[in-house]
Amino acid sequence: MKETLTSLKKRSGKVVALLKKAYPNAACSLDFGTPHQLLVSTILSAQCTDERVNAVTPGLFKKYKSPEDFAKAVLMDLEENIRSTGFFRNKAKAIKESSKILVEKYDGKMPQTIQELTLLPGVGRKTASVVLGTAFGIAEGIVVDTHVTRLSHRLGFTGAIDAVKIETDLMKIIAKKDWIILSHLMIDHGRAVCKARKPDCGHCPVAKFCPSAGKV
């Protein structure tokens, strides 16, 4: 029997509350000092670990201190600086071009709507939501990465595969005040307990509210 929307909302609320208790320090794991640095770091994090990105960005941000610096960067030099993050040519082009638009259209400042951010090269809904939520505390969407996708499926919050549809399903059942923290909680839980290959259901704080507990 399919779970009702009302039941999903209640169950998801209990799950989020328990995850908050389990991971009280849940936060973005990318290191940054400004909204633009967060944008750059998030672009670099595609198909790359946050640890690798955090190893690259201190030197990168020391060399390129502002959107203006990135906009003026020699593309080949920028590529070399971020090579170890993978897909470095596409990422370097996206960083340079998006920085150029920020300088020319927004006076170097970060726009604060998902519509404006997703018009920047290399910026999709996920990246835009990371920047808005983490840098500005603005909840316009829910960040959906591999951890959020996996946990949302196991928890029975969605059956969708497409990230945009998963986000839509989550936004229907998760209280808006928790949209920003949700991805951080799920990422922490996915890394610590609900791992892809072997989830530790015996030590899961939300097992009693998870239809997949002990079945994966």
| Residues belonging to the active site | 126, 145
CA-to-CA distance for 164 and 118, rounded, in angstroms? Answer: 13
What distance, in Å, lies between the first and last C-alpha atoms of the chain? 20
**Checking phi first, is residue 214 left (phi over 0); if not, alpha (psi -120 to 50) or beta?**
left
CA-to-CA distance for 72 and 97, rounded, in angstroms? Answer: 10
- Give yes or no for a contact between 145 and 130, defined as CB atoms under 8 angstroms apart: no
Q: What are phi and psi of 79, to 5 degrees?
A: -55, -45
Three-state SS sequence of 26-73: CCCCCCCCCHHHHHHHHHHCCCCCHHHHHHHHHHHHHHCCCHHHHHHC
